[in-house]
Chains A and B, each alone.
Chain A
Amino acid sequence: MKKWLYLLSIIPVFFSLLVFNKVEPYVLGMPFILFWMVLWLVLTSVFMWIVYKLDPANQGGDDE
């Protein structure tokens, strides 16, 4: 389980580092490279939320 969660949490890192180094197309007023970086910030939160929900360490009342 833990192993899969590690992998899942690495996905956003991998994609946010994979730089799309171009200006066009503009998205939300930003050059594409800037948009890509911002997009993956949002997606990192989403991925980490999924990992948090699946992680057995966060279940049960015992707050460790």
Chain B
Amino acid sequence: MNSALLIITAFMALSIYLALRARKGKEMTLEQWSVGNRGLGSMLVFLLMAGEAFTTFTFLGASGFTYAAGAPAFYIFNAAYFVLSYWLLPPIWKYAKEKNLLSQSDFFASKYNSTALGVLVAVVGVISMIPYLVLQLKGLGIIVSEASYGTISPSAAIWIGVLTVTVYVMLSGIHGAAWTAVLKDFLILGVVIFMGFYLPLHYHGGFVEMFKSIDQANPGFLVLPESGLSTYWFVSTLILWSLGSYMWPHTFSAAYAAKSGRALRRNAILMPMYQIVLVFVIFIGFAAIFQVPGLKGSDTDLAMFKLSKATFDPWFVGVIGAAGILAALVPSSMMLNVAATILSKNVYKIWKPETTDASLARLTRYLVPVVAIAALYFTFNGGNTIVTLLIMGYSLVTQLFPALFFSLWKKNPVTVQGAFCGIIAGLAAVLYTTLSNASMADLFPAIPQAFKDFDIGIIAFTINVIVTLTVSAFTRKAVKSDAEPTHSVA
């Protein structure tokens, strides 16, 4: 075992120790296990949410995307997320607390007074999480196998990663995730800031020098292109992603874990500043361009690691690897935890309502490895880059936004039928455009270039909103005429 692997193993062991410690002295009810009894203050909620924001995607995907595409990668800075979270999360938290809700699916079921809609939302949530989970596992595999300098194959590395995550989640639930998030954040901050400064200075003698030589070798790489990943693409993607970012079942329920709405609002002030760390990840991606040239397709995800191995001693590669592993561990444990909770509480319990809480809690824990194995299957059967997987998950989960948004209105204009049809139509559109690999230009060859560059997700989203509102308009009338006689009686 080399020193890189030794350090990575030590950090994995430490995170499991933290998970065990976090659990100690607390009886694990389902509520305790999944939303930490709604007792997490601003600081822990902040760290949990930051844990969402800084995942393997940030670490490997963002640097790889910068390496491959240049300026379009700047879309990872998105201020709109946090502004949205300030207004969106506190009312969600408040309603969830009043009604004692545990999951995202509960929220929809309660707002629309329909268990069937709850089941649909549960299924959409779990399906959307799979590509996101696959992405984290892929990242884990890359890190462990690269850090082993070839002694562990990527597939063996993925198995090791999955085992660690599964054991970790089964032991601890959300408390463990919050404490590992603390450890992870310190490590990532240190590693990323150091590398972001060191690499450009070491290889180019300065930041401006680095950017100037990139600009010379590849003119136009540092700005958004005229067409394709253009300004129009950029803006439409930012908007879509902010809508999707809090629709994930795990970001949704991270909001439940807050102690107060105020904790969530304070979080919205802190989070944008925290994103600044991402600029260092971008520096690393740019620094890799001349040092590890020629990576193509899904190999671009390796850019950061290849560069680290070319630059640093194995022990430091181990520290970088440990940071990367924790970056995968926190979000994937959150996701596994939430997916298992949803499947047991919002699907199984609906099917078998007589299940007791104790056996439900047990079932939830046993579902963790089941979900992990499903994700494992897709990890081994798909050759996509981290960015592609993330985009797919986002497009799917964004389809829940319209139904949620309207349900927060004082007078919800959307009926349960409308919500149902809208979500299904949106999903169908996402699946069609993803599977056929269509772009706006393929679907609408005659529209102006600006529209052709729009994120393809806009189509599914627009279809969703139109169907939601149209079906609601029709069904509302039907409901009204049904309801009127009862009203006059009352």
Contact = CB atoms under 8 A, between A and B. Distances in A.
Do these two chains really belong together in a complex? Answer: yes
Interface of A: 6, 9-10, 12-13, 16-17, 19, 21-23, 26, 28-31, 33-34, 37-38, 40-42, 44-45, 48-49, 51-52, 55, 57-58, 63-64
B223 A41 contact: no
A5 B238 CA distance: 22
B235 A44 contact: no
B272 to A, nearest CB: 4
Contacts of A26: 207-208, 211
B357 interface: no
A29 B206 contact: yes
The 3 closest A-B pairs by CB, nearest first: A29-B207, A44-B79, A44-B272
A44 B274 CA distance: 11
B224 interface: yes
B260 interface: yes
B292 interface: no
B275 interface: yes
B261 interface: yes
Contacts of B77: 16, 37-38, 40-41
Contacts of B202: none
Contacts of A49: 269
Contacts of B215: 23, 31
Nearest to B271: A45
Contacts of B269: 45, 48-49, 52
Main secondary structure of the interface of A (DSSP, over half): helix
A61 B279 CA distance: 38
Contacts of A10: 83
Given A16-B80, A33-B71, A40-B79, A45 B270 contact: yes
A49 B269 CA distance: 6
Given A10-B83, A12-B79, A21 B276 contact: no
A16 B78 CA distance: 8
**Most chain B C-beta atoms within 10 Å of own C-beta, residue among A21, A57, A63:** A21
B266 A38 contact: no
B206 A19 contact: no
B260 A45 contact: no
How many of chain B's residues touch chain A, expressed as a range? 35 or more
Given A9-B86, A12-B79, 11 more contacts: A9-B87, A12-B83, A16-B77, A17-B235, A26-B211, A34-B282, A40-B79, A45-B272, A48-B86, A64-B260, A64-B261
Contact of A30 (B90, B211, B239): B211
A52 B265 contact: yes
A63 B83 contact: no
A57 B211 contact: no
11 contacts: A6-B87, A16-B80, A17-B235, A31-B215, A33-B224, A37-B77, A41-B79, A44-B272, A45-B272, A45-B273, A48-B82
Contacts of A51: 86
A23 B223 contact: yes
A35 B457 CA distance: 28
A29 B262 contact: no
A58 B262 CA distance: 6
A52 B266 contact: yes
Contacts of B78: 16
Interface string B74-94: 100111101100110010001
A43 B266 CA distance: 15
A57 B262 CA distance: 8
Contacts of A42: 272-273, 276
B231 A21 contact: yes
B265 A57 contact: yes
Contacts of A34: 71, 74, 222, 279, 282
B272 A37 contact: no
**Most chain A C-beta atoms within 10 Å of own C-beta, residue among B80, B270, B276:** B80
Given A13-B80, A23-B211, A41 B261 contact: no
A17 B84 CA distance: 14
A29 B266 CA distance: 31
B268 interface: yes
Contacts of A30: 207, 211, 279
